[in-house]
Structure 1
Amino acid sequence: MPRFAANLSMMFSEYDFLDRFSAAADAGFKAVEYLFPYEYSAEELARRLESAKLTQALFNLPPGDWAKAERGLAALPGREADFAHALDRAIAYARPLNCAKLHAMAGILPPGTDPAAARRTYVANLRRAAEHAAEAGITILIEPINTRDIPGYFLNRPAEARAIIEEVGAANLRLQFDIYHCQIMVGDLATQLRAHADITGHIQIAGVPDRHEPDVGEINYPYLFNVIDEIGYDGWIGCEYRPRGETADGLGWLDPWR
């Protein structure tokens, strides 16, 4: 039976961010995720979670300078100290939020960066991150992101993520399988889900091509939810989509699984 987490960075945007927790709970969600928590204190976020009786499923490490189009630090040579600081900050938030999974964004390589050097940096950073996170009982996730939404992003396909995970060799480094990104880059979704079930630590969904509700677009999500059950995945499924209108008005797709 799928279990869904509302992505509060995209959903319930008709509310102020801190009010989205109770809105998600009122809509029937039992868990939430979001991109970044760092504008708010961990204590305030923990209070919102507790008040709404929600689980914090996931959030991202600080990505660098978002306003300057940085989208992660893990694969950027020369930014190792920045990545280590980002990891420490994320873990400091994860502890009071009881969040057991953190996504480490790979990043967009600056012009002229040697891809081989980026890969070595990525592997080394993830190895250290996994070791540090393990002490806190946290799993590090890496997510392939499509080149249409983020051109130049270092990690784009599940098979590439598998190769990195296997090279790092840490039990608490796993795949964040975003079905939206996978459809754009690879397709063959049921096969991809089955092929990577053994390394999948989190799943996200959205309609393709416009990243709206999962009942809009070219993906047959009810079929894929059955596949997800079949492969034995019992974690949260993050709803990382942009509602077409008021969030609650577009939640009819959720009715069979509320």
Structure 2
Amino acid sequence: MPRFAANLTMMYPEHDFLDRFAAAAADGFDAVEYLFPYAYSAQELATRLSDNGLKQVLFNAPPGDWDAGERGIACLPGRQDEFRRDFTERALPYVQALKSPRVHVMAGLKPAGVDAAALRDVYLENLSWAAQQAASIGIDVLIEPINTRDMPNFFLNRQDQAHAVVTDVGASNLKVQMDLYHCQIVEGDLAMKLRQYLPTGRVGHLQIASVPERHEPSGGELNYPYLFALIDELGFDGHIGGEYRPRAGTSAGLEWFAPYRANPRAS
């Protein structure tokens, strides 16, 4: 049966962030993900996980100056030292404290006037280095194609691009974070994409949301029960992150999750 993780950056916005762990556990989730942990101490987050019986399954490495509009720096020439410093001094200590089996590295936005091949060279160099560091502590590094509507000019947009990067780097612990919301907007044909890529072992994490609204994975143009059954059939044993904006209250919108709940909510 598919296993799901609540994305605490987007889900449970009706609660303060640190209270979202308990809310997710009460609704039957056994795992969580979120964008960034760095506003909180690793010990505080580890305590919230432990107190609520939750596993951390994913978060992002530092993305550069997020508030200024940066969306990762892994492909940016001249930022290699900053990328390496942030990965080793910020991301990896949180990975170890939170016992996360994977960390997502955002590629970044394409700078005007820079050749795409030069960006790709820097990207591969940084990912090869990061994968080596991560391998030393037994974790995976993930890369994610993001759609051009939500994040114009992002370096990585398609599944075939991402899998080509993974192949070229050649590190067994570098994998693709396959967000079905982004994939549907850019490429579509999700069932065939899942059949193509899940059996390769190069997909390390899945994420979901309705299309086009990015709400609960019910309604919209995707048949998620069919896709969940297919994911199960294909033997994917990782978590599927609910990276969506709830229409109203998060708990009230979890009908889609009811058949898959790890711990049914107490009445």
Aligned to 1:132: 133
Q: Which residue of the partner structure matches residue 170 of structure 2?
A: 169
Aligned to 1:204: 207
Task: Give the Cα separation in 1 of the matches to 2:137 and 2:69.
Answer: 30
The equivalent of 1:116 in structure 2 is 117
| 1:60 matched residue in structure 2 | 60
SS at match of 1:60: coil
TM (norm. structure 2) is 0.96
User: 2: CA distance between counterparts of 1:125 and 1:232?
Assistant: 31
Please state if 1:213 is matched with 2:226.
Answer: no
Q: After the TM superposition, which of the residue ranges 145-154 and 87-96 deviates more from structure 2?
A: 87-96
C-alpha deviations, 1:39-58, integer Å up to 9, x for none? 00000000000000000010
1:233 aligned residue: 236
SS in 2 for 1:81: helix
Residue segments in structure 2 that go unaligned for 5+ positions in a row: 262-267
Corresponding position: 1:38 with 2:38: yes
Alignment of 1:159-198 (within 5 A): 159-197=160-198, 198=200
Give the distance between the partners of 2:190 and 2:103, measured in 1 at CA. 24
Deviation at 1:207, TM superposition (A): 0.3
Unaligned residue ranges in structure 1 (runs of 5+):
none
Q: Determine what percentage of the aligned residue pairs are the same residue.
A: 59
Q: Which residue of 1 aligns with 2:254?
A: 251
Q: Which whole-Å CA distance do the structure 2 matches of 1:138 and 1:85 have between them?
A: 18
Instruction: Please give the alpha-carbon distance, in whole angstroms, between the structure 2 residues aligned to 1:216 and 1:8.
Output: 22
Aligned to 1:22: 22
User: Which residue in the other structure is 1:84 paired with?
Assistant: 84
Letter matched to residue 21 of structure 2: F
Look up the SS of the partner of 1:204 in the other structure.
Answer: strand
Distance 1:32 1:103 in 2: 14
Stretches of 4+ aligned residues off by more than 4 angstroms: none
Q: Aligned to 1:73, what secondary structure does the other structure show?
A: coil
TM (normalized to structure 1)?
A: 0.99
Q: Can you list the C-alpha shifts for 1:34-82, whole angstroms capped at 9, x where unaligned?
A: 0000000000000000000000010000100011110001111111011
* CA-CA distance at 1:223 after TM superposition: 0.4
1-structure distance, mates of 2:155, 2:53:
36
How far off is 1:216 after superposition? 2.2
Cα deviation, residue 171, structure 1: 0.2
- SS of match in other structure, 1:196: helix
Q: Greater CA deviation, 29-38 or 86-95?
A: 86-95
